[in-house]
Chains A and B, each alone.
Chain A
Amino acid sequence: MPTIVSVDDSTVPGEGSSRLLLLVSSDNKHIVVEEDIMSRSRFISKQVEGFEATSQRHAILLPFSSFVLNKVIEYCSHYRGYYLLEDDPDAAPPGRSPVREWDQEFLDVDRNMLLRIIKAAHYLEIKSLVGSCARAIADMIRGKTTEEMREILGVENDFTPEEEHSPSSKCTG
């Protein structure tokens, strides 16, 4: 298992004004990334605030693989310095904004990967990325029949015949 790496501020070579962060993935990959790239992540931001309070900088351990982490970093790097309304913790919850074209291409991956990205984005609290993934998944379901949904997503029908056809299945919300 990876040991907690304590990183002293002075040992991290500063590049410009942005400080560096050490992220450790579940497969024990050490990834150094500029702090402001990851500022989109509420989770990372809160960690950094914690560092500032204790003036101790640690590596941040993340429960997903470097493969996924790199994908998330790619996303954050692309939007480095951009303001995205969804990621503004002070902004009102956004309405239905148009899909960003780059995100669509970025998320053109297999379902396994999509699932891992959205889980990672959820863990890191990157709302814009969670939203884009959610939309990509919604696009897979939209307009499909129940049978098609089961087939596409490999969901098992675990209803008993009574449950499936019971009138109580309507409007029980």
Chain B
Amino acid sequence: MPMSLHPDLTTTNERNVKGKFTPTGGHESLRTALMSIQEREGLPAELAYTLLASLPRSSLVILQRRIVPLLQLDVVGLLPTEVSLLIFSYLSWKTLLCCSLVSRRWRRLADDYSLWKRLCSAKGWIWKEPSIAYRGVKYPIIEPPKHDTDDEGMGDEEDEVMMEPPSIPLDDSAFASMDVSDDDLSFFTPSPTSTAGPSNTPHSPPARSAPSMRPMAWTRHSAPAVIPSQASHLKPNYKLLHFSRTRLQHRFQSGSYRRLTLPMMGQPDLHANTIYCLQLYTYPGTGTQVLFTGSKDRTVKEWDLRSGTLLRTLKGVHVGSVLSICVFGGYLTSAGSDSKVVMWDLADNKGVKVFCDHADSVLCVRFDEKRLVSCSKDRTVRTYLMSDLKPQHVLRGHRAAVNAVSISSTYIVSASGDRSMRLWDAETGDLLRSFENQHSRGIASLDLDFPMVLSGSSDKHIRLFNMETQQGWSTSPEFDTQASIPLPAVATPIFDEDDGDGDAPLAVCNNCGGAMAVADTSTARPQSTECARKSRHQCAHGDLVRNVALGPDFVVSGSYDLTVKVWDRRTGRLIADLVGGHTGRIFCVGFDCTKIVSCGEDQKICLWDFGYGMDTSFIKP
């Protein structure tokens, strides 16, 4: 039986030389002979070498030209697509960006939907059907606020007289930049993916030059409806999602944002006094994101973040300041200095239940599908079951006002002016553990991602620690269990840890946007790099930390010192120092992957937008 070349090898070789060389009869027979030896004996390198050595120099040169492509085999391009994709599935996003520039075939493979979907889902990045983008209004220039120093949302500390609040300099020049120029409004313009023009929708956008004119759509007092744009019929573009999220992360890291201020003054709709609390909320049905705020003016207001306009006002129940709000599953609860907790149905736009069990101001309220938890200046924490809205437990033990409470499905954590944090079993109401002396003064704020708990205190420090191991970081050297672990000298991109690539060279990725994603420093604030060199102890807040928020990558804190700071959750490194936005003490902060919102005494809502100039309509916060 004749010896024949096996088909896979033949095609491989011929495709690889790509027609540059046409095999002649003589060469072909030599090749066949060598090949058959190889097949029979394995790789008789010695024999092949001896054969080669006997050839004249000119033949060797020709042979070398033919052998080189054999050694450099496009193992990726020659395989079935599914196998090539399996190979690429072992690569990081950075390497994939480089791969997509190798050749057309490689680009088709490296851009594959499945690869980027997997990369996104590994990071918990979810594609959202883009909803219609509103065209924004131009924000008016803000006037200086009335100054009011009483923070009712903070209870007194144990055995300590409340500090005199610092006098806050009011500087008009700080407001000059609030007037957003037309260029800055690119964020608000409809995204390119929203091809349905404004004229196709019943929600016609307001003229930008007439901010006081309220269009019909915004006078409705119910959850806004959303008409899906044509983009929603498209397949999710996970590569774009990954690119955008990476870019946002980098902007957070480098403190690159545009600051916008929601119009709060001079219009009848706006809060007439200090804003104590806020929460970002996305309607599950429509995917529309709104902002709720609660104020000393006894109302709760809902804002359209894209246009900065008021959507509705919840009022008439509270007879004191609204100190805390919580929005979940179509309901909103508000807690007030009138000792009341009110639950509102956002669909019906009315109060459904008023809880009057606390004996003093209710300082914080949280709820989920199982239970509602409120804490008060009366030193107690009260829980109610959501099934019947009946009281469940009264948690006693704190020796001073309970300033903040945070919940998970099975635990409740409370923080008090008595400097302690307490961990309770949500089901039984049992005190599981008391964490004393977490701060040198009373604890003002709390956020929980069990077992990690984040706290901010009158001692000007924040602290993130694991309740199971008691390990964590703090801006106070006294309470920093990681003080001995040196911080990375430079701002390391924390989001690359899982890539396992080390430092993929990115200079070549200019065309594909890969380098942009990690070198977008054009608008970076210089202080963030300065802070990277300082230890977290040197970057601590200059006054009481009134509110903290814990996210998957970052920690955000707002302080009486008028600044909002962004910290790396893992290392406690200060990432960004957001200054110049507020002229009064900051009482509440909130954030998602594109923005930070803050509010306080100056009656303003600052929106620190890290997604400026980007289409973020498909990003699920």
Contact = CB atoms under 8 A, between A and B. Distances in A.
A99 to B, nearest CB: 10
Contacts of B91: 138, 141-142
A158 interface: yes
B243 A155 contact: no
A33 B68 CA distance: 36
Interface in B70-127: 70-80, 83, 86-92, 95, 98-107, 111-113, 116
Given A65-B9, A112-B70, A144 B98 contact: yes
Interface string A153-165: 1111111000111
B512 A115 contact: no
B95 A165 contact: no
Interface residues on A, range: 35 or more
B38 interface: yes
B513 interface: yes
Contacts of B369: none
B257 interface: no
A157 B102 CA distance: 6
Interface string A80-119: 0000000000000000000000000000001110111011
Contacts of B505: 143-145
A143 B39 CA distance: 34
B115 to A, nearest CB: 8
B83 A130 contact: yes
B72 A152 contact: yes
A169 B102 contact: no
B103 A155 contact: yes
Contact of A154 (B1, B74, B508): B74
A79 B38 CA distance: 26
B501 interface: yes
A138 B505 CA distance: 16
Interface in B1-25: 1, 3-4, 6-9, 12, 16, 18
Contact of B75 (A68, A115, A157): A115
Given A2-B1, A111-B71, A138-B91, A170 B503 contact: no
Given A141-B91, A154-B16, A170-B243, A164 B501 contact: no
Chain A contact residues, majority secondary structure: helix
A51 interface: no
B511 A169 contact: yes
The residue in A119, A130, A134, A171 that gathers the most chain B C-beta atoms within 10 A of its C-beta is: A171
Given A115-B78, A153-B74, A142 B501 contact: yes
Interface stretch (B56-64, B233-241, B379-387): B233-241
A141 B103 CA distance: 14
Interface string B205-248: 00000000000000000000000000000000111100100000
B493 interface: no
A26 B8 CA distance: 9
Contacts of B4: 26-28
Nearest to A62: B6
A173 interface: yes
B432 to A, nearest CB: 33
A41 interface: no
Interface string A57-69: 0000001111110
Nearest to A1: B1
B9 A116 contact: yes
Contact of A142 (B80, B95, B105): B95
A119 B79 contact: yes
Given A67-B42, A112-B12, A116-B9, A130 B76 contact: no
Contacts of B504: 142-143
A64 B513 contact: no
B502 interface: yes
A164 B511 contact: yes
A126 to B, nearest CB: 12
A155 B110 CA distance: 15
B508 A146 contact: yes
A26 B9 CA distance: 11
B241 to A, nearest CB: 9
12 contacts: A27-B39, A63-B8, A116-B8, A122-B80, A134-B90, A138-B87, A141-B76, A146-B102, A154-B74, A155-B102, A156-B18, A156-B103
